[in-house]
Amino acid sequence: MSALREDLTAFRELDAEVFGVNPAGPKSHDKFLRKLDLPFPLLVDEGGRITEAYGARKTPAGGTKRTVYLVDKFGIVRYARRGAPADPELLEALREMASPPA
């Protein structure tokens, strides 16, 4: 997430909105945002509904797998990858999403 902070201008130049989603509560998110000085929001996934909908549940009992999604302006998932892909990979995927089909 720190890398996203450093490259946020490049993401915004591609009209991307950056945010994180995590089932932790608001106090935990505020602490994390301050610690890493993140200039984008972390959304609270109370009850794990977003985690479940995007297939990011780690175990039936809970927890999440770090997953990155790029969703286009029509709500279509155009990129999905487990882990923490490097920003250049994400920026390239965004450029491809913005390009007209060949």
Please give the single-letter amino acid code of residue 13: E
Geometric angle at alpha carbon 8, from 52 and 76, rounded to 5°: 40
**Residue-level pLDDT at 92:** 94
What CATH class is the domain 2-98? alpha beta
Per-domain residue ranges of the chain: 2-98
Residue 24 to residue 45: CA distance in whole angstroms:
7
**Residue-level pLDDT at 101:** 66
Virtual CA dihedral for 70, 4, 37, 73, nearest 10 degrees?
A: -30
Q: What is the pLDDT of residues 14-40, one digit of tens each?
A: 888 898 888 888 999 889 888 988 898
Residues in the chain: 102
Residue 6 to residue 4: CA distance in whole angstroms:
5
Q: What is the pLDDT of residues 42-101, one digit of tens each?
A: 899 988 888 888 888 877 776 778 889 998 888 888 899 988 899 999 999 999 888 776
> What pTM was estimated for this model as a whole?
0.79
